[in-house]
Amino acid sequence: MKHFFLSLIICSVMFSCTGTRIYIVRHAEKGANSQDPDLTAEGKQRAQDLATYLRKKKIRVIYSTETKRTMQTALPLSEINHIQIQPYNNDTLQKFLYHILERGKNTLIVGHSNTTIRMLNELSLQPTIKEIPDNDYDNLFIVTLKSRSGPSGFHLKLKETTYGKKSPDSTDVKR
C-alpha cells in the first residue's frame, strides 16, 4: 500500500521533474572510539572525491543526518556549490523521501550503512547489494525520475556505481 501512495506522489510531480536525480551515499570513512566520530584523513579525501564527482551535476539540495561523519561527507560539495546542508532523521525516511520527490530537484543524501539500502527499498528499487559492510564506503546510488508513456507516466531508474578510492572487498576483512 505504501508503494501505491509513493507512485501517486511521483506521478503528480513527474511532469515538473523529468530527469531529476537523487544521489544517495553512505558517509565516508569514520574514526573509531567515539559515538559520533569525525571522518578519518581517508574519509576527508573521499568527501572531496564526492564533491568533485557531483560538482557539475546541478545538485540543488543536500541532506545529511546530524552526525559529524555524514555532515563532514556532505561539507565539501556544500562549500563548492554554496548549498546549506539540511538535516533529516532516519526515523521518518518514508516521509523524507516523499518530500524529496515532491521537490523535484537534484539532491544529495548522505546516510549510513543501515539506512542507504533502506531508502532504495522505500522507493521500490532493487539494488544489487542488500547491505553495506562496515568497511564499504565507495557506493554511489543514483535514482533518476524519468517520464515514459503508459498509465503511470513515470518510472524510477537506479544506477549503482562507485566513487573515490575503491573500498576493500568485504572478504578482504580479517574476521
Cell of 84: 546549506
pLDDT exceeds cutoff 70 at 11: no
Higher pLDDT, 171 or 93: 93
Query: Tell me, what CATH number does 103's domain have?
Result: 3.40.50.1240
- Helices 41-54/68-81 angle, 10° precision: 40
Mean local confidence (pLDDT), 64-81: 97
**pLDDT per residue as tens digits for the range 30-61:** 998 789 999 999 999 999 999 999 999 999 99
CB atoms near residue 111 (< 10 Å): 24
Predicted structure pTM score: 0.85
Contacts of 33 (CB under 8 A, 6+ apart): none
Higher pLDDT, 174 or 91: 91
Q: What distances in angstroms separate CA 4 from CA 8, 9, 10, 108, one per listed residue? A: 6, 9, 10, 25
Higher pLDDT, 57 or 12: 57
Q: Cβ-count burial of 150 within 10 angstroms (0-12 exposed, 13-18 middle, 19+ buried)?
A: exposed
What pLDDT is attached to residue 23? 98
What pLDDT is attached to residue 162? 96
Contact 27, 63 (CB under 8 A): no
For residue 134, tell me if it sits in a domain.
Answer: no
Cell of 106: 537534484
For residue 39, tell me if it sits in a domain.
Answer: yes
For residue 112, tell me if it sits in a domain.
Answer: yes
Q: What distances in angstroms separate CA 21 from CA 14, 95, 166, one per listed residue? A: 12, 18, 23
In the predicted model, what is the mean pLDDT of the chain? 86
**pLDDT per residue as tens digits for the range 118-127:** 999 999 999 9
For residue 175, tell me if it sits in a domain.
Answer: no
For residue 136, tell me if it sits in a domain.
Answer: no
Contact 47, 75 (CB under 8 A): yes
Q: Look at the chain and report how many structural domains it folds into.
A: 1
pLDDT exceeds cutoff 70 at 5: no
If pLDDT is split at 50, 70 and 90, which confidence band does 174 have?
A: very low
Provide the residue range defining the domain that includes 85: 21-129+147-165
What pLDDT is attached to residue 18? 58
